[in-house]
């Protein structure tokens, strides 16, 4: 036998570099995103080398031979393309460019060294191996692409669930808690102080109305129609709602609220409110001190109580309230720090960086 019959696979090695060079040039000429993205280009050339290895194995064995490693390579390529925003259509176009380059050189090499009968058989085998290797990789890559996007969707859904949980806890849960507490106080005052009992019922009605409004906002994608205009006034209104005879709550707000955007003021209000509510509900403190400082570069707040406290090291996991406070702060690139000790109360601190507003020159 002559020509490639002894080792037809050697043709692949003979023209490998030419195929890869032509493929890369074709990607460049086509203006493919695969060429424009360095990582995608390197992966495409690596995939081309693996496909040529499969073609060589197919020619050597006389039947289609595809390395099982293609699944790992192709899945990684699909995930990377999804992360880079390269659509599977672009990957398919790149595969077509490689197929043409490889077919051109393989057919030319076979025809140059084989007689007509042997050449036809080897060309058929080479094309079959080339097509099978590419098609398997394209399918697996598409699965990797869609798998990556499905994971993103799942993460978005999980974040949305956490967001809804925060809103339900902080807005709806708060209103119901206030209504329940004020109803209990109204019942306690009914026999001894009818006027005060009636006033508590008024607070209950107001809390229910606010809860209904918050629920309407939640069903409208939680987009608040009335943002917090004054953090101090909002906190004062809240403290009036939860007022108790056995607890002294002091509020101190300093700084210019205009330095903080409405969204920041709104989130800070919800965080501070949750910290105060936790102190009253779980700490049983005689005194709670609430401080808010607003500077041009940062909004900071603290809620300090002298209640029963707790041991942070003994806490297993975090309640919805604590998680909600931290997540709200993190959404603004801020942080919440919680410290406490048994018998020594609890301190919750909030820090939110503020973006300086650019001011144009007066003569601009």
Assigned domain for 218 exists? no
- 224 in a structural domain: no
Q: Is residue 95 part of a domain?
A: yes
Query: Does a structural domain hold residue 203?
Result: no
Domain boundary among 157, 184, 201: 157
Last residue of a domain, one of 157, 179, 196: 157
pLDDT for position 1: 36
Q: Which has the minimum average pLDDT: 35-49, 278-292, 300-314, 324-338?
A: 300-314
pLDDT above 80 for 329? yes
User: How far apart are alpha carbons 302 and 265 in whole angstroms?
Assistant: 14
Q: Which of 11-15, 29-33, 49-53, 158-162 has the lowest mean pLDDT?
A: 158-162
User: What pLDDT was estimated at residue 363?
Assistant: 37
Q: Are residues 130 and 39 in the same domain?
A: yes
Which of 8-22, 108-122, 128-142, 273-287 shows the lowest per-residue confidence on average (mean pLDDT)?
A: 108-122
Judge if 30 and 118 occupy the same domain.
Answer: yes
Q: Which of 132, 157, 182 is the last residue of a domain?
A: 157
Do 352 and 269 share a structural domain? Answer: yes
For residue 119, the model assigns a pLDDT of: 84
- The answer to whether 1 and 30 have CB atoms below 8 angstroms apart is no
Residue 242 shares a structural domain with residue 133: no
State whether 141 and 250 are in the same domain: no
Q: Is the pLDDT at 364 greater than 60, yes or no?
A: no
Read off the pLDDT of residues 168-224 as tens digits, 9 standing for 90 and up. Answer: 777 777 778 888 788 888 888 888 888 888 888 888 888 787 777 777 666 654 444
Give the pLDDT mean for 97-117. 86
Tell me: pLDDT of 134 over 70. yes
- pLDDT given for residue 360 in this prediction: 42
> Average pLDDT over the chain, rounded to whole?
84
Query: Would you say residue 214 lies in a domain?
Result: no
Same domain membership, residue 243 and residue 138: no
Q: What is the CATH number of the domain that holds 26?
A: 1.10.490
231 near 269, Cβ under 8 Å?
A: yes
Same domain, 130 and 243: no
Domains held by the chain: number: 2
Task: Annotate 28-82 with DSSP letters as a single string.
Answer: HHHT-HHHHSHHHHHHHHHHHHHHHHHHHHHHHHTS----TTHHHHHHHHHHHHH
Amino acid 275: pLDDT: 92
| In-domain check, residue 304 | yes
Rounded percentage of the chain residues whose pLDDT exceeds 90: 36
- The answer to whether residues 24 and 139 belong to one domain is yes
In the sheet that 298-305 helps form, which strands lie side by side, from edge to edge?
248-255, 287-294, 298-305, 346-353, 335-340
d(CA 248, CA 258): 29
Flag whether 204 is in a domain. Answer: no
What integer is the mean pLDDT of 9-38?
A: 90
- Any idea what the CATH number is for the domain that residue 347 is in? 3.30.565.10
Question: Looking at the domain assignment, is residue 33 inside a domain?
Answer: yes
Q: So what's the pLDDT on residue 361?
A: 38
Query: Sign (positive/negative) of CA torsion 140, 143, 148, 151?
Result: negative
Q: How far apart are CA 320 and CA 159, in angstroms?
A: 14
Domain that residue 323 falls in: 230-364
252 and 113 share one domain: no
Long-range CB pairs of 144-149 (<8 Å, 24+ gap) are: 144/74, 144/75, 144/76, 144/77, 144/78, 144/79, 144/81, 144/82, 145/78, 145/79, 145/81, 145/82, 145/88, 145/91, 146/78, 146/82, 147/75, 147/78, 147/79, 148/78, 148/79, 148/82, 148/83, 149/82
**Which residue did the predictor score with more confidence, 281 or 51?**
51
Please give the pLDDT value at position 320.
66
Indicate the SS3 state at residue 318. Answer: coil
Tell me: do 152 and 234 sit in the same domain. Answer: no
69 and 153 inside one domain: yes
**What pLDDT is stored for residue 217 in this prediction?**
62
pLDDT at 362: 37
pLDDT digits (tens, 9 = 90+) for 32-88: 988 888 888 999 999 999 999 999 999 889 899 998 888 888 888 888 888 888 888
Same domain? For 19 and 129 the reply is yes
pLDDT band at 250 (very low <50, low <70, confident <90, very high): very high
């Amino acid at each position: 036998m002559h020509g490639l019959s002894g080792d037809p696979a050697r043709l692949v090695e003979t023209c490998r570099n030419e195929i890869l060079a032509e493929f890369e040039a074709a990607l460049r000429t086509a203006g493919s995103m695969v060429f424009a993205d360095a990582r995608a280009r390197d992966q495409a050339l690596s995939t081309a080398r693996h496909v040529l290895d499969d073609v060589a194995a197919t020619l050597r064995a006389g039947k289609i031979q595809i390395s099982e490693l293609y699944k790992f390579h192709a899945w990684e390529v699909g995930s990377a393309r999804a992360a880079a925003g390269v659509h599977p259509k672009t990957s398919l176009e790149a595969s077509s460019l490689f197929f043409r380059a490889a077919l051109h050189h393989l057919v030319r090499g076979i025809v140059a060294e084989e007689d007509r009968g042997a050449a036809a058989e080897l060309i058929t085998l080479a094309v079959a191996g080339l097509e099978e290797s590419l098609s398997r990789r394209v399918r697996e890559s598409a699965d990797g692409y869609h798998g990556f996007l499905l994971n993103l969707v799942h993460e978005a859904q999980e974040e949305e669930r956490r967001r809804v949980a925060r809103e339900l806890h902080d807005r709806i849960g708060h209103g119901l808690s206030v209504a329940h507490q004020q109803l209990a106080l109204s019942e306690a005052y009914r026999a001894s102080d009818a006027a005060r009992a009636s006033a508590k019922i008024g607070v209950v009605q107001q809390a229910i109305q606010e809860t209904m409004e918050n629920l309407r906002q939640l069903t409208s994608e939680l987009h608040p129609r009335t943002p917090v205009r004054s953090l101090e006034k909002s906190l004062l209104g809240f403290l009036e709602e939860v007022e108790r005879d056995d607890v002294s709550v002091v509020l101190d707000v300093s700084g210019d609220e205009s330095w903080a955007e409405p969204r920041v003021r709104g989130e800070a209000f919800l965080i501070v409110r949750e910290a105060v509510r936790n102190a009253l509900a779980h700490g049983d403190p005689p005194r709670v001190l609430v401080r808010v400082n607003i500077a041009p570069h940062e909004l900071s707040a603290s809620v300090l109580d002298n209640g029963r406290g707790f041991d942070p090291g003994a806490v297993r996991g975090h309640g919805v309230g604590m998680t909600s406070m931290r997540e709200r702060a993190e959404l603004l690139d801020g942080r919440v720090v919680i410290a406490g000790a048994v018998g020594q109360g609890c301190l919750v601190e909030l820090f939110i960086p503020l973006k300086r507003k650019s001011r144009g020159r007066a003569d601009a």
